[in-house]
Amino acid sequence: MMNKQQNNNPNNNQNNNNNFFNNNPLLIFVAFSLVTIFAFKAIFPDSETNATNSNIQAYGSNVSKTITYSELKKLIVSGKIEYVGIGNTLIRAVSKNDGMQRVTYTARRVVPDETLIPELEKSGISYGGISEENLLSDILFGWVLPIFLFFAIWMFLVKRMQKSMGGGSGGILGIGSSKKMINSEKPNVKFDDMAGNKEAKEEVREVVDFLKAPDRYVRLGAQIPKGVLLVGPPGTGKTLLAKAVAGEADVQFLSVSGSAFIEMFVGVGASRVRDLFEQAKKVAPAIIFIDEIDAIGKSRASGGPMGGNDEREQTLNQLLAEMDGFSTETAPVIVLAATNRPEVLDPALLRPGRFDRQVLVDKPDYEGRIEILNVHIKDVKISKDVDLKEVAKMTAGLAGADLANIINEAALLAGRANKEEVEPSDFKEAVERQIAGLEKKSRRISPKERKIVAYHESGHAVMAEITKGAKKVNKVSIVPRGLAALGYTLNTPEENKYLMQKHELIAEVDVLLGGRAAEEVFIGEISTGAGNDLERATNIIKSMATIYGMSDIAGLMVLERRTNQFLGGQTQKDFSDAMAKDLDDHVKTTLNERYQVVLQALRDNKDAIEQMTSELLEIEVITGERVREIIKEHGGIVFEGEDLHSDSLDKSDVKEDIKSDKTQIENKDDNQSEK
């Protein structure tokens, strides 16, 4: 500490020596201006002013006396005046030297008075003009004030330019400042307002405890995490969780978007980072929340051999330095950040001491969805018949923002129909809108196309119910929805699925192939309606071979690496051309094998599909319960009540199913063992 003080002393002395000049530039300028003006007056005197006033001054030292204009005229008439100086508003007269001291009389002139000059000439009194201007006011208003105003404007502009170039809190047009980008508030959001994600709330609860009572942790030598990174898919409530932390702790909440730091000028982002942390220290304890931090926190190695983005890297480096620079013991400032792309962040940002804790804010499970729905229906008038558990079952895999949108959409539908309350049908329609899109009842479809669509969707529905491991049918419709869907089969799992077994993936492929197979079996010709189904089926079979190690083509070798797990999941391929050919052959062969199995299964349930198609053509929509009834009425087997995660399969049965090309009964048994 002594060394630091000694090192700082020269700087302090230097600063003290320059304080007066640095802190009072305007005062110094005024003094300099006055000295300059007086020097100028001395070098270049005003000849006219001096000439007019020197006539009076030539009579020597006088006694000044103020009289009225009438008294002055009486003195002129009596011959006691020797010289008269006439101004615009004043008249000065010098008395004669009668052995006594001269007197300078000053009177306010009465205008107009045409008798004055003739009287002076009659009495033989010399006269002239005088300047009434005050030297001080002349200097002040004629010289100092204009220069002072010019200097003030100039200093203002220079100061703004310096701040814009060197940082600080200002800058021309706000460049370099983060005050306008920062939203500073004390949120009223509590943990109770954020339903679901109990684990995430428990992870950040100790941050709240530290902000409320930091001494309890400091005396034990514990160090609270300086940064907490919230990761998860879009719409899961990362920002809401950060506000809830600030609301529970009752501290200042400074939020800013990651994109707000980047400008076209180099160095502005780093300046705004410094400004952000300075503001946080002033209002500590506080929480800094940086939303979408991947905008400035991308890995510096991602620029490639040609270099990266200098501005973004400078901003990131400044952020790293700031997070190392402040002490949470003296000024509790905790940084929260949110992103849905954690894999692209710089490793230096994620190390302990910076963002040393990552909290996953994932999509809610069944219980979490019920809690979220209960939170969002507080202000919505719903019918007593509405069962939120059923809505939660239909919305598996949706985030909190999706659920809020579904409730709002249901309320809009009820209001459009002029209902008093939101009914279950409104919720079901809202879910279908969220998943499949808007109904296009005005879209005219020919009877031939309606028949094709009906057979197509019936094929999907039957395969979903008779296949082991497939998602159950909730609804089948031939009403056009969205941009291109002429019909759809709504398969909704009752719970989120975090694992899928091999037979479940194959079952999903079979269901996807069911539409095309139904067209071939019952119509005799295929259409273009199965394009998306084939694309999804191909991707599943390819992923089984390249990512999950579920084929003999690559064994346990992973051929593709998945990235951006929260944003749809992109893959990076890493295999040879020879492997690519073998992979293509494998995908083609597997799809053909599954297609033959599906064809046989649909032929076995021909009567059920025919009846389902006729009902669809008549009423356009049938429920999942009715689908299962139709299959059972015609002797089909519907799989129900299966524990998909604990049920073990016989490998020999699976292998036999893939290679089966036997009788009708054998094919049906194989389908039941694998699907």
Residues with a known catalytic role:
457
Q: Angle, nearest 10°, between helix axes 577-604 and 664-674?
A: 120
Tokens of 198: 């109990």
Helix (H) or strand (E) holding 491: strand 488-491
User: What letter does residue 143 receive in the DSSP assignment?
Assistant: I
Helix (H) or strand (E) holding 199, with range, is: helix 198-212
- Partnered with residue 359 across adjacent β-strands are 230
| Beta-bridge partner residues of 490 | 475
- Give the whole-angstrom CA distance, residue 325 versus residue 520: 70
572 within 8 A of 560, measured Cβ to Cβ: yes
Residues 6 or more apart in contact with residue 454 via CB below 8 angstroms: 478, 487, 612, 613, 616, 617
Nearest Cα to Cα of residue 473 among 481, 461, 455, 463: 461
Q: What angle do CA 196, 243, 167 make, to 5 degrees?
A: 145
Is the peptide bond between 493 and the residue preceding it cis, with omega within 30 degrees of 0?
Answer: no
DSSP 259: G
Structure tokens given for 214: 């930091």
Three-class SS of residue 324?
helix
C-alpha dist (Å) from residue 515 to 27, 522, 527, 567: 88, 11, 10, 29
> Count of CB atoms within 10 A of residue 237's CB?
25
